[in-house]
Chains A and B, each alone.
Chain A
Amino acid sequence: MNRVRKLILNTLVIICSLFLIYYFGGFYISKETCDLHTMRSFYVNETTYIMEFSNNNYTKTIYANPEEKTMSIVGSKRMGFWHQTASSSTGHKIDMNNKLDTFGSYSRDFGGMITVVYRNDSAIDKVEVCYDDGFCVVLDDWKQDFAGVFIKDKMWQNGIYKAYDNQGNLIAEISY
């Protein structure tokens, strides 16, 4: 076989091999597609982007499905040009019976914990979270009724969540 034909054959072998590695290795060019496939793995399809938190090459993105009253915390990591699913992902049903619901995520590779709250009452202006170790944080940056925080280097902690209106009146309180 002459060299040009050998070169064409080798090139085809390389392209097929790289495609198999890309396909079965779970590499994605788009972070959105990576997140969608991650959510599909736990049967979540239609969602709206809410917010994201990044640390080093890892990202945790919050998605919600307002009609089904569900939310997802989706982890991904970036490796140069590629994105891969990573850092644990979860799906949750939002408790519509309470004025406030809360969700959390911690993973070591992400390097900290995330706390997300959902307000089922538009009167809620801010939520104060005090964790069991005494650390407290205020969440008041609302995106589609979700607010969240990433606390770097913090392992998962339970806490008390207090929701206040803009007059400072306590509206709801939960433990999580």
Chain B
Amino acid sequence: MKREEFLQLITKQIQYVFDRKDIEEELNQHIEDSILDMVDDGIQYLEAEKIAIQQMGNPVEIGKQLNKEHHPLVGYLLLLSKIVICLLIIPMILIGIILVRDMYYVFTPTTVSGAETILKIHEQVDIPTHRIMIDNLCYKDDTYYLTYRSLKNFGYSRTGWDTDSFDIVDVTGEFLMGSSFRDSNLFGGAGYAIFKMPEDRVLYLRFQNEKLVVIDLLEYGYE
């Protein structure tokens, strides 16, 4: 039997078609190594090839044995899993980028672009659903900004958006807060509130659950 015919009879038994080429190459290399050993012993190449093929045995039986070892179901499932992983790479990269960005915004103090940070407050307030971190008092163009971040309790909400959690009022309850900016993310949010500075420099932060937190800016060194 010729070498090509012998190898084809073997690989025909392999049901996982993507393994056939590799198996054929491996067997061919094995036959070639056997031939070279015999040629070194003085046997003619063509005669050595015939002997090497005969020594390997029945090609159909060899093929069936190899088919058991290279199980087609495992082979096709592995191929499918590789395809699925390739398809998941892009969404996973996007999620990774978003996660890193959102973690940066939530875990680093918020500032206002172009504004001077005149006080670092770093006050932490826990309400049943969030942890609010009051970061800085900033000032720009005759406007005061109170920057903050909020971190949702784990599993509380997965919608990826969030809203303002507090108002700013003075000692009489008068609303001091103007506009606000907020960037929601997977973990909560970050932003700032524009407010009118009260005469006594005391801010009352009124939270959604009616909790009241007092921030005396004079105690933080504001003059």
Contact = CB atoms under 8 A, between A and B. Distances in A.
A4 interface: yes
Interface stretch (B28-36, B70-78, B133-141): B70-78
B74 A10 contact: no
Interface residues of A, number: 25
B209 interface: yes
A157 to B, nearest CB: 26
A77 to B, nearest CB: 12
B163 interface: yes
Nearest to B209: A43
A82 interface: no
Interface in B84-100: 84-85, 88, 91-92, 95, 98-99
Interface in A1-54: 3-4, 6-7, 10-11, 13-14, 17-18, 20-21, 23-26, 28, 34, 37-38, 40-43
Contacts of B84: 10, 14
Interface of B: 70-71, 74-75, 77-78, 81-82, 84-85, 88, 91-92, 95, 98-99, 129, 156-163, 165, 184, 186, 208-209
Interface of A: 3-4, 6-7, 10-11, 13-14, 17-18, 20-21, 23-26, 28, 34, 37-38, 40-43, 85
